[in-house]
Amino acid sequence: MLYELKNKNDFNIYSVYDKEFKEYGRVLEGYDFSEVIRYMDEKTSVPSEGNIYVASCEEMEVLNIKDKIQEGVYGFMDIQIGYCNGNNSRLNALEYHKGSEVNVAVTDLVLFLSRVFDMDGLNLDTRNVKAFYLPKGTAVEIYSTTLHFAPCRVSDDGFKCVVILPKGTNTPITKFGEGVGEERLLFMKNKWIIAHGDRQDLINRGAHRGLVGMNYELKI
């Protein structure tokens, strides 16, 4: 699959097992995600268009993996387990959190990633973005310094991805970021975001227009 994607796209696509990924995160080994993957396969679906994101799913949070990840990755901090399923194929925006994000690829998928220290003030040139392929069943920890957004599909069937974050992340806030610094990027609880001009819907909702350059599209 990775070989086919590389041939169809005019930008580099790396594997999360390549050395280039080490600046952005790490592959999680030694955890059994089979139960949560089975839940995703049997109980969740890919929408006919667009994406769906559920920040916290109670049925997933009673599975055994929660305690294992809460202890082993987050040092007993409270976490939430949810998911993102959809049909996305573009970069569109990038976000970061104050705390790592764990992604479990229920299907093959691609992540567009960059780093907060590649930003120029509140903006980022998309030439600083790299694409990484996650094979089905792979789990990664995305570091808090890594800019990321919704996964991209690699087939017409869409994608499914488990999303684990510090509890409360990506939930609504009553006051959007104001001022001249990082606070302008605050979009939801523990979620700072920069959007590409192509995503006027996000900008209209308060996202900062901060992605400059090509809005990469993954061709499949």
Give 137-187 pLDDT, tens digit per residue.
999 999 999 999 999 999 999 999 999 999 999 999 987 667 779 999 999
Instruction: Say whether pLDDT at 107 is over 90.
Output: yes
Across-strand partners of 132?
14, 111
Phi-psi region of 70 (alpha: psi -120 to 50; beta: other; left: phi over 0): alpha
Q: What mean pLDDT do residues 110-115 have?
A: 99
Give the model's confidence band at 199: pLDDT under 50 very low, under 70 low, under 90 confident, else very high. Answer: very high
Q: What mean pLDDT do residues 62-71 have?
A: 98
Distance CA(154)–CA(156), nearest Å, equals 7
SS3 sequence, 42-56? HHCCCCCCCEEEECC
Dump pLDDT digits (tens) for 18-53. 999 999 999 999 999 999 999 999 999 999 999 999
Q: Quick one: pLDDT at residue 180? A: 76
pTM over 0.95: yes
Instruction: Select the CATH number that applies to the domain covering 2-166 from these four: 3.40.30.10, 3.20.20.80, 2.60.120.10, 3.40.50.12280.
Output: 2.60.120.10
Give the list of residues 6+ apart from residue 175 with CB closer than 8 angstroms, or none: none
Domain boundaries, the chain: 2-166
Residue 92 DSSP one-character state: -
Give the list of residues 6+ apart from residue 187 with CB closer than 8 angstroms, or none: 95, 176, 177, 193, 205, 206, 207
